[in-house]
Amino acid sequence: MTEKTSTTSQPSFIIRFRWIGIFILIIAAAAYYFFMPVVNEQATAVKRLSTVIRTDIENTVTAAGSLTSKDWVEIGAQVSGQLKTISVEVGDIVKKGQLLAEIDATVQVAQVNASRASLDALKSQQVSRESTLKLATLTAERQGRMMKEKATSEQEYDQAQNDLIEAKASLLQLKAQIAQSEASLSSEEAELGYTNIYASMDGTIVSIVAKEGQTLNANNEAPTILTIADLTVMTVEAEVSEADIGKVKNNMPVYFSTLGGGSRRWNSKVRQILPTPTVENNVVLYTVLFDIDNADKALLSQMTAQVFFVTSSANNVLTIPVGALTYIDNNNEGSSKKAINVGNSDKGRMSNMTDDQRREMRAERIKGEGRGKLVNGKGRGSRRDGEGKRNKDTAANYNRSKPRNATVSREISDGIFETVKVRIGVASRISAEVISGLNEGDKVVSGIIQPNTVKPKKSSKSEGNRIPRGL
């Protein structure tokens, strides 16, 4: 009987224990829910500080290009015949007048010899006709004297005069034939000279397209044998899109690098912008030419070049991030645009920015930097100033842009800031040149770092005193 009582009471104890455990878990879950730590949505924003440093700034237009020699010439054959010898190889450096190749001159030599023999025959006839002319001259003179003395007939006199005229005409005709033969001989001698092919300029043999023993036919066009190029001066042909060609000007500084050149940079100036574009896949490209000295022969034809046209630049100047700037209207320097007040007291102490202030700051920054948005209702543009007008900044010397006025927030000491007016020169999309207003090493506010926040749950008024996580 006792054993039955013990056996029936044990399950009841276990059941009570389980219910107690469940109740404790429910209490713990409820406590965690009501006392769960949160981060205030209005957490303090941290200001990003940047140091005024000295560096280089430049704005560029990029393009792809290829290299070719500035001066080059294709050497061809002016006479037909078999290419007998080629005296050079690709890569050889040649001088103007140096023998490059020879064409079999058998036919040309035979023609020259025949013309010379014909010319000699004509010159021998000239001696005979000159003698005939002399005799006709003497006879005509004698008949003239006899005619005066009535010692001859008029018929003999007239015959002597006619013989004289015919002798002169015959000699003139022969002289014309001799001149024609001499001209033909000169042409044939020139053709004979063309069988020896000489360099027309100093340079390097860059290609040989013919082979020894090949028969060349120069009747229709001059067949090319080889090409000479001056590799000491190279030309870069850069393809610039129509969107950027307006920024490229003659004599503008330009530099480029090659795939195999490592970090080496070649500098030059724009020589010419070709007016006729090429269209590739509906993209209009204009060819821009500039030359580069290649005395060390590091550059070769058909190399690919990454080209940078410098529209404006400044070297070794004070710079700050563009995010630190609030631009001021240049047309009315006395009245600035509405800027963010970064101080919470007359001493310039920083206060927490609200969402509205941050949005206003971004809007002002977009206006100042001219990002092509609608500005003051004056339409969409490219780079615009504070009043919505086109920014006509130019880089006359390529080291200064049109200066602009702006303000920055400079740190005086920990947590203390002041608004400073600065003069800005060259500005890129990342940094801007400081002409005046700041010194190297100054710290300015360049942005706001938003902390990670956890949105609090809706609860009763008593939840305002919840303890943050970790405390």
Ranking 23-32, 293-302, 361-370, 439-448 by mean pLDDT, the lowest is 361-370
**337-359: pLDDT as tens digits:** 333 333 333 333 334 444 444 54
Taking the domains of the chain in order of start, what are their residue ranges? 105-194, 321-449
CATH no., domain 105-194: 1.10.287
What are the start-end ranges of the E strands in 349-456?
A: 404-413, 416-427, 431-436, 443-449
pTM: 0.60
Answer for the pair 232, 295: CB distance below 8 angstroms, yes or no: yes
Structure tokens belonging to residue 281: 């896949």
**4-42: pLDDT as tens digits:** 444 444 566 677 777 777 778 888 777 766 665 544 445
Answer for the pair 74, 223: CB distance below 8 angstroms, yes or no: no
**119-160: pLDDT as tens digits:** 999 988 889 888 898 998 998 888 888 888 888 888 888 888
- Residue 430 vs residues 3, 420, 442: alpha-carbon distances, Å: 89, 20, 18
Computed over every residue of the chain, the mean pLDDT equals 78
Reference 231, options 296, 306, 307, 305; nearest CA is 296
- 272, 274, 280, 284 alpha-carbon torsion, rounded to 10°: 100
Answer for the pair 260, 111: CB distance below 8 angstroms, yes or no: no
> What is the model's pLDDT at position 362?
52
Structure tokens belonging to residue 210: 């013919």
What are the start-end ranges of the E strands in 11-98?
A: 46-51, 53-76, 81-86, 93-94
Coil/strand/helix, residue 303: coil
Percent composition of the chain: helix, strand, coil (DSSP 3-state, to 5): 30, 35, 35
